[in-house]
Amino acid sequence: MSNTLLITGTDTEAGKTVITTVIAAYRQKYYPQSSLGIMKPIQSGVGDRELYQHLFTLDQSPEETTPLYFQAPLAPPIAAAKENRTIDLALVWQTLLKLQKRHDFLLVESLGGLGSPITYELTVADLAGEWRLPTVLVVPVRLGAISQAVANVALARQTKIDLRGIILNCTQPCTEEEITDLTPPDLIRSFTHIPVLGCLPYLEASTNLEQLAQVGSNLDWEILF
């Protein structure tokens, strides 16, 4: 799984999609000789798959980008039940292996947060640990972020996730003082013992790949790549 990176978050709307587009844009700009794949294993409702297909030229079909697609924007087990379907994790696993073989680097964006349910028995954290996916945790800059970071890192350790780092993300415009007050990197590192790779500024639905790549250049990639 060394060529794969899972992007997950502390909760829904943490900024996983933004981080995924930033990393993808950075990889394409600074590693142009390296083939890139993007995967959203399970999607409920319209959103990320459509964005990735629009932004990036990917050597993969929409079905490979998102093997399991449900109409209702709900937790997968609930969305699947509404369509009288089941969560076929074998299909997700087979697609993941196929994309890993085809690409030099594969980004996998999880649904929700580490504790989000995939089935009635398994969470994102369970799969990340069982499938041994190197992982980055996105922590939004907001009140309560420190406790969320600590709790999610504890869950990652419990499920034996290879957690490579934390990325802070401004989900709304933030000053440097607000970032320091709400998500002090040193305090988060002290409690979690996980490196903080940097903080992304607020990006309002950016589709400018040059801008996304430039923002990505401010993160500490040596730990990841």
In order, the DSSP letters of the chain are: -TTEEEEEESSTTSSHHHHHHHHHHHHHHH-TTS-EEEE-SEEESSSHHHHHHHHS--SS-HHHH-SEEESSSS-HHHHHHHTT----HHHHHHHHHHHHHH-SEEEEEEEEETT-BSSSS-BHHHHHHHTT--EEEEEESSTTHHHHHHHHHHHHHHTT--EEEEEEE-SS---HHHHHHHS-HHHHHHHH---EEEEEPP-SS---HHHHHHHHTTS--TTT-
Pick the catalytic residue: 29, 40, 82, 160? 40
Is 29 known to be catalytic?
Answer: no
User: Would you name the residues annotated as active-site residues?
Assistant: 40
